[in-house]
Amino acid sequence: MRKKLIAANWKMNKTRDAAARFARSLAERFGDGPDGCEVALFPPFTAIEAVRKETENSNIIVGAQNVFHREQGAYTGEVSCGMLVDAGCEVVITGHSERRLVFGEGNELVAAKTEAALKTGLRVILCVGETERERLDGRAKETVQTQVGIALRDAAHDGITVAYEPIWAIGTGRRAETQQIGEMHGHIRQTLSGIFGESADGIGILYGGSVSPENSSDVIGVRNVDGMLVGTASLELESFASIIKKVLAG
């Protein structure tokens, strides 16, 4: 059985102090590693170590929101996979739509980052998702299939989780319909089987995009949804805790 994963993507939010306080309280409540469910925090780079310190005796996983695929060198402003491991990260997000849209990351760069992270021993949450235009034009499945296919072309299946995040649902309060989520998750699972064969069965597929305490029970109940990547609703402890509880109850 695939373990559920509930991940908090804090984006460019929280000082070290605020991040540490959140992590400490979360570890007190869910640090034992609730049955069949993993909890992960993705602070900004500057707060990774502070969060790691608060969670090191717990089962809460700490990750980074981005990475560069080169090992070291003249890449001003970038951070390598080895540096993330050194800071206490177990996992990294690649291909988030904000990286794709705001920073111009294409599928090839996402593939290079994904491959480098997996080779370094990091787990990866690969984000994919279509724009509203692509959905309206009937190209949503094709877009997502291409994103998955290129990013995982040279990857081993171990350590991969995919997050389906329709771009039009991120930060908008407009979550995808359960039917849309079910269809796309089924399509992603099929695509993964095409790449990895039977070993694809172990790969979790998360949903992300305006997940909230109010809608999380519905989302987790959809077939092929193995967890959630939560942005806005993960910034407040009570709201994130409530999402975790709903998933545990479901």
Query: Interface residues with ligand PGA (CB under 6 A)?
Result: 9, 165, 170-171, 208-211, 229-233
Shortest CB 88 distance to ligand PGA, Å: 21
- Out of 96, 115, 134, 187, pick the active-site residue: 96
Which of 159, 231 has the CB closer to ligand PGA?
231
Secondary structure of residue 70 in the 3-state scheme: coil
Active-site annotation holds for 165: yes
- Assign residue 222 a region (left: φ > 0; alpha: ψ between -120 and 50; beta: otherwise): beta
Residue nearest to ligand PGA (CB): 231
Active-site annotation holds for 96: yes
Q: Which string of b and e fits 221-246 if b means at least 16 CB within 10 Å?
A: ebebbbbbbbbbbbbeeebbbbbbbb
Which of 185, 196 has the CB closer to ligand PGA?
185
Amino acid symbol at 166: P
Rounded CA-CA distance 90/86 in Å is 10
The dihedrals phi and psi of 210, each to the nearest 5 degrees, come to 60, 35
Shortest CB 93 distance to ligand PGA, Å: 8
Shortest CB 98 distance to ligand PGA, Å: 7
Shortest CB 221 distance to ligand PGA, Å: 18
Which of 84, 230 has the CB closer to ligand PGA?
230
Which of 159, 166 has the CB closer to ligand PGA?
166
- Out of 105, 165, 185, 187, pick the active-site residue: 165
Classify residue 192 by burial, with Cβ atoms within 10 Å: 0-12, 13-18, 19+: buried
Residues marked active site are found at 96, 165
